Amino acid sequence: MSLPEGAEPEVMRRAGEAGIALTGLSIMRHPDARSEVADRDGVVVGFAAPPEHAFDAAVSALCEVLEASGL
């Protein structure tokens, strides 16, 4: 999921506080990568972990994190 510039740290902090496991794109970026696309903020959302009965709650929690981050 792409995020506005500078939003990744805030989203990652809030997600961690809410118990949501996300991965920021910044840790996946090769240090020599330089392009408009390579510099984008974002998170990787994996939905394999929650059991089916918890999926709706996981998506709702992620939406709450994004809203609290002003997104």
| Cβ atoms of residues 59 and 4 within 8 Å | no
Q: Which residue has the higher pLDDT, 38 or 4?
A: 4
Q: What is the pTM of this model?
A: 0.74
When pLDDT is averaged across residues 30-57 and rounded to a whole number, the result is: 75
Mean pLDDT of all residues belonging to the chain: 83
* Residue 20: band (very low, low, confident or very high) from pLDDT cuts 50, 70, 90: confident
Give SS3 for 52.
helix
pLDDT at 49: 65
The answer, yes or no, to whether residue 35 has pLDDT greater than 70, is: no
Instruction: Return all residues near 34 (Cβ < 8 A) that are at least 6 apart.
Output: none
pLDDT confidence of residue 10: 93
CB 24 within 8 A of CB 10: no
Contact 22, 69 (CB under 8 A): no
